[in-house]
Structure 1
Amino acid sequence: MRRLSIVIILILLTILPQASTAYLSAGGPSAVSPPSFPDNEETRRLLEQTLSSAEIEKEITRITAEQAGLERKAEELRTQAAVKQTAIADRQERAGDIIRSYYTGERDGLLAAVLSARSISRVLALYDYYEIIIRRDHDILKEYEEDYKALKATLTAAERSSRELEELKSALQEQKIRVAALNEEIEGGIQASSDPESMSALLNEFTKYWENIGLHEVKIYFKALSSAMNRLPQFIQGREGALTRKGMTYNLTLKEEDLNEFLVSQNKLFKDFGFRFNDGSVIATGSSGGLTLTLTGHYSIQEEPVNGLMFHIDNVVFNGLELPESTRQDLEDEFDLGFYPGKIVSFLHATEVESKNGVLYVKLGISF
């Protein structure tokens, strides 16, 4: 009986199909290929518009959540202000009485009594009494001043929250108008296509791919790039001829082939990925599996909060499709691709940056 059971299990294992798996690797591109689409301008335009629509919808969701948070904060601040206003009323009245007493000379009698005392013990007793009253007056006025400042700060914060809330409402309305117009345009493009049903299905499929996989894939590269750029100063330190000195000025010369060699040494993801330093722009292109990525940007000098070369993303093309501006900005905010000369030598300070003919030139001054 036992042998029969084993035979049955073996037969089942043989005839049953194995489940296929698709997954995102921890450090590399996904095994899932993006949807294929006709390589024509109209389809490309619709796909880019669909990406923009999806990103605007995300922005609307974010703004809506932020608006709800601000509404709660504004209400809390108004409640706090009301409580503070009630609490301050009594101190305000007492402070007013004290100020009036000094203005009308009521406190002068106390000082006169101290000065007219005929014995040391009487002087000391009256002075102690006078000091207690004056100190108490001072404490009441100080408490009132602190309460007033706290109330004013709360009212200012509530007013600021209200302004921010109005700005958010305006931004939300603007985004809703944008996405409605964009969706209308997309729908028009779908209906104008030769096969509206297939086009609609393609756009839906691509949107899901982008939201679930595509954006994640792009972020894998950006994260790896950010991590590598953080270690670039050490590479430059050890690269002969990369940093030269002329008087009080240092010049950093980074060739694109040196940068690409460095990137590959940091992460094998960059084996098929390369940087080019063009006239005024930096272009990075690469591909892996079903993913192609082209990143165009430029460097500028930043002084605060720390001196460095900040990388600004001008354009990102994912699988032939230009990503929306909001996505580019989110990537720039999330991943720091900057370069900080102070990490090479603490007193170095970037003053000029230029890219041309395959080389990034950085002029550095000395700052203590």
Structure 2
Amino acid sequence: MYRRIAALATAGAIAVATAFAAPDSAPTPGDAPATSTPPASTLASPAQDPELHDLLQKGLTAKQIDEEIARLDARQAEIRDELSRLERAAAEQQERAAESRRRVGRILRAYYMGERWSIWTAVLASRSLGEALVWFDYVQLMTAYERRVFRQAVEERDRLAALKTEAEKRLAEIERLKAERVRQRDRLRELEEAIRRQLETAANAEALKRQMEQLNKLWDEKGKPKFQTYFEALAKAMQNTQQLFGRAETSVQQFRMTATWRDAGINAFLRESDPIFSELTVSFVGGAMEVHGNDGVVDLNIRGRFVIENEPAHVIRYLVDELRFNGFALDETTVRALASEYELAITPALPDPTVRVRAESVEVRDGQMTVVLRFGLF
């Protein structure tokens, strides 16, 4: 089995070096292996050799998990900085809240000791209306001040409680990130051990390592940027809701409208909105929307489903479930990280912006997607 892996790996490495050599130069013994990004055709597919494809898949997944661990570490550092800021703010707020409580205490003590009653006695004992009005104005100013003190004390207490709650959330998030880091670290160790065992029994481990490095380089230089380009274009098209719903096949019954997009129609709309969609084909199949892209170097697939969300806003969100790059499945961490960078959501709307609508249902069947909208005052 591994002889076949080694033979294919060696042939692949030679093909890569030959493809990227200068036209007027020939390789000589001792030349360093080619370092240019290999074309997609030089990388193993499951049909060519399942064992080699499995090894390359493990190498790509290990790289992505390592990147996720780096993201988790960076996020933990950010949250720790936020937590430090919250702790400083809470300490300052604690002082302000304590001072507010002291002022409230002095006011209550004055009432308890009868000091405030002497002022009212002075009002009642005034020898003229003018004197009584002066004392009454003083009482009003005093009570207004006391109300401000009480209100400020409540506000300071609430702000302190909010800071403490936020700090607790940050601490919980740090603990969650720590646990996730441990889980990803364990996954990475298992993959690295599996790769090590597989390479130990291979006849040409160095050629296999070069294949893995070439795939990872192709992902960094071509695959990831292309996914980002496609996601950015998709997000922009989804936010163009007026034209998107304007291009749907519609029917109206009472206070509901049914909007349907078919494969051909949605592809025509997308290609008119952005030239990048000439590389893409969108299809509705099996309850999901699939996007296939090929620019001649990399072959990409996106698969996801639409769901209706009401919080924090009412949208029809596209949840990405699977990404494939040149036949290799991207790790769940990469899928989540890439998709989270973009607002892949449709805001229900009609060509007439004065009519307000909400999505009641979304259904994807082979060849079409249907959304039911309800009119009304919301």
TM-score range, shorter chain: 0.7 to 0.9
Change (3 A) 1:179 1:279: closer
SS of 2:115 mapped into structure 1: coil
Change (3 A) 1:333 1:96: same
Match of 1:37 among 24, 32, 43: 43
State which drifts further: 184-193 or 139-148: 139-148
How far apart in 1 are the matches of 2:282 and 2:172? 44
In the alignment, which residue of structure 2 is the partner of 1:24? Answer: none
Match of 1:247 among 244, 251, 254: 254
Are the equivalent residues in 1 in contact too, given 2:58–2:195 (CA < 8 A)?
A: yes
Quote the offset at 1:349 in angstroms.
Answer: 3.1
In the alignment, which residue of structure 1 is the partner of 2:200? Answer: 191
Quote the offset at 1:321 in angstroms.
Answer: 0.6
Match of 1:178 among 183, 187, 190: 187
State which drifts further: 330-339 or 294-303: 330-339
Match of 1:349 among 331, 334, 358: 358
How far apart in 1 are the matches of 2:283 and 2:96? 66
State which drifts further: 209-218 or 338-347: 338-347
Structure 1 letter corresponding to 2:264? E
Structure 2 letter corresponding to 1:309? I
Structure 2 letter corresponding to 1:70? I
Quote the offset at 1:272 in angstroms.
Answer: 5.3
Deviation track 1:99-121 (CA, whole Å, cap 9, x = no partner) reads 12323433222212321333334
How far apart in 1 are the matches of 2:244 and 2:137? 73
Change (3 A) 1:190 1:343: farther
In the alignment, which residue of structure 2 is the partner of 1:164? Answer: 173
In the alignment, which residue of structure 2 is the partner of 1:78? Answer: 87
Change (3 A) 1:325 1:93: same
In the alignment, which residue of structure 1 is the partner of 2:29? Answer: none
Quote the offset at 1:50 in angstroms.
Answer: 2.3
Are the equivalent residues in 1 in contact too, given 2:246–2:350 (CA < 8 A)?
A: no
Match of 2:236 among 192, 203, 227: 227
Quote the offset at 1:216 in angstroms.
Answer: 0.7
Are the equivalent residues in 1 in contact too, given 2:231–2:339 (CA < 8 A)?
A: no
State which drifts further: 166-175 or 299-308: 299-308
Are the equivalent residues in 2 in contact too, given 1:95–1:144 (CA < 8 A)?
A: yes
Quote the offset at 1:342 in angstroms.
Answer: 0.2
**Percent of counterpart pairs with the same letter?**
27
In the alignment, which residue of structure 2 is the partner of 1:105? Answer: 114
How far apart in 1 are the matches of 2:290 and 2:257? 25
Change (3 A) 1:344 1:322: farther
TM-score by length of 2: 0.78
Change (3 A) 1:288 1:156: closer
Is 1:215 matched up with 2:224?
yes
Quote the offset at 1:19 in angstroms.
Answer: 11
How far apart in 2 are the matches of 1:156 and 1:275? 45
Are the equivalent residues in 2 in contact too, given 1:349–1:365 (CA < 8 A)?
A: yes
How far apart in 2 are the matches of 1:100 and 1:177? 62
Quote the offset at 1:322 in angstroms.
Answer: 0.9
Cα root mean square deviation, aligned: 3.1
SS of 1:277 mapped into structure 2: strand
In the alignment, which residue of structure 2 is the partner of 1:27? Answer: none
How far apart in 2 are the matches of 1:152 and 1:114? 41
Quote the offset at 1:59 in angstroms.
Answer: 2.0
Match of 1:141 among 137, 146, 150: 150
Deviation track 1:161-218 (CA, whole Å, cap 9, x = no partner) reads 2232232223223322222222222222332434222112211222122123221122
Change (3 A) 1:206 1:79: same
In the alignment, which residue of structure 2 is the partner of 1:289? Answer: 296
Quote the offset at 1:305 in angstroms.
Answer: 4.5
Are the equivalent residues in 1 in contact too, given 2:83–2:170 (CA < 8 A)?
A: yes
Match of 2:332 among 325, 329, 338: 325
Are the equivalent residues in 1 in contact too, given 2:68–2:334 (CA < 8 A)?
A: no
In the alignment, which residue of structure 1 is the partner of 2:63? Answer: 54
Q: Within 5 Å, which residues of 2 pair with 1:331-342?
A: 331-342=338-349
Is 1:311 matched up with 2:318?
yes
- Segments of 5+ residues of structure 2 without an aligned counterpart are 1-21, 26-36
- Segments of 5+ residues of structure 1 without an aligned counterpart are 1-16, 21-30
How far apart in 1 are the matches of 2:115 and 2:347? 66
How far apart in 2 are the matches of 1:218 and 1:352? 29
TM-score by length of 1: 0.79
Are the equivalent residues in 2 in contact too, given 1:278–1:357 (CA < 8 A)?
A: yes
Equivalent residue pairs, number: 341
Match of 1:262 among 261, 264, 269: 269
Is 1:299 matched up with 2:306?
yes
Change (3 A) 1:248 1:125: closer
Are the equivalent residues in 1 in contact too, given 2:38–2:218 (CA < 8 A)?
A: no
Are the equivalent residues in 2 in contact too, given 1:35–1:206 (CA < 8 A)?
A: no
Are the equivalent residues in 2 in contact too, given 1:37–1:43 (CA < 8 A)?
A: no
Change (3 A) 1:339 1:198: same
Are the equivalent residues in 1 in contact too, given 2:238–2:244 (CA < 8 A)?
A: no
